[in-house]
Amino acid sequence: MSGLCRVCDILPDKPAKIGRLALAPKLLSILRRFSPEAATHWAYFDNAATTRTDPEVVQAMLPFFSQSFGNPSSTHDFGTAAAAAITAARRQVQALIGAEHEHEIVFTASATEANNAALLQALRREERGEVITTAVEHPAVLAVLADQEKHHGIVVHRIGVDRWGRLDRAAFRRALSRRTALVSVMAANNETGTLFPVAELADMAHDVGALFHTDAVQAAGKIALDVKASRIDLLSLSGHKFHGPKGIGALYIRKSTKFRALIRGGRQERARRAGTENVPAIVGLGKAAELAVARLGENQLVEALRDRLERTLLATVDGAFVLGDVECRLPGTLAVAFDGADAEEILFRLNRAGIAASSGSACAAGAMEPSHVVRAMKVPYTAAHGVLRFSLSRETTASEVGQLIGVLPEIVAASRAASLFAPQAAAE
């Protein structure tokens, strides 16, 4: 990963004032760590959190800030140029997910918005008051359903997973009924990369007359998607997960699906999402989708690098084991539990070594606790606090993998030596 940030080229030695604001010395110090020279020493393994915006995407976006800057709703040439760019981007996203019609794509400000719009729309079916989801969904789904459960009396069935993160299909079948309004199951888990059989589950949902939604944020751009060949009604995605810009997402709405807008106002997006369109971001999402389709084959190389990292870690670090379904997962995701280690301590040391990764923990009441995904998989206590996620992309290099392999065994050992979660410490 090179050229992560070029703002440092113009940073002064002393805190700079921008208007009435000043860049604090600590911020300047952090920014300088991403100078073009320093960035060459970094290894980035947090692509499931966000990816670097592809330079081709940036170049595609630039004209729509200061040249073709018109409002797409305007009838003059500036507006028609912007509208044409949105149409082109819509077709690019259509191709990415295999939609039958371009108008089935609705642009949103994020996948979180897309999830909210999809879930709340489906729950307007007054004759049905139950929802089926999984215990390992992203909070952008679980929080919406929890709110509907608490304040609107919706019955939510949260289906569990086994130790490999695979859906309990028997429990899923038992939960289905003619009372089910919606089934929402992610295409791929954001922590483990485990893939869910969404096409099959969509068939089962339709058999009882329910709508089917999938959060495909982690899957889009990484595996082939073909919604027209399935019975999926609603699908959410986000641009920044596959080298597009942040702040732009999309919601697929199958042509026959009834839909009422979550955000009301103007008639943008065929009256399904009001608000002036963010043309540069939409263009960027479209370009990222086009590149993802063209480079989908490169994910085989990503998978090979991931597998090399996995084999080496398991061979060199005692007490390490992989989380998730190793036979059916995303090509670039590797979740590893280091028994007796403290994930936050490991991440701190990795960061000092110029390596970015993430943990399977979330901050709760001031303490680091295992994530809901780790808990759902019933990972043992001493290992649950040592879960790390390494997520690769088409930009990950063999050199970066070697850099991580070179330091991680020693870092894990150091973490265990001081960890409260080491077996001997836990016993005391």
Contact 305, 392 (CB under 8 A): yes
> CA-CA distance, 266 to 182, in Å (whole number)?
28
Report H helices in 248-362: 268-271, 279-294, 299-316, 343-352
d(CA 150, CA 254): 29
Give whole-number Cα distances, 393 to 95, 110, 143, 153, 222, in Å. 21, 21, 28, 41, 9
In the numeric block, the tokens 């028609």 are attached to: 80
Residues whose CB is less than 8 angstroms from the CB of residue 61 and which lie 6 or more positions away in sequence, other chains included: 245, 280, 281, 283, 284, 287
| Cβ pair 302, 394 in contact under 8 A | yes
Q: Out of 5, 8, 328, 363, which one is annotated catalytic? A: 363
Structure tokens at 39: 């960035």
- 404, amino acid identity: L
What angle is formed at CA 292 by the lines to CA 401 and CA 196, rounded to 5 degrees?
A: 80
Task: To the nearest 10°, report the CA torsion of 159, 163, 166, 169.
Answer: -50
363 is catalytic: yes
- Residues acting as catalytic residues: 363
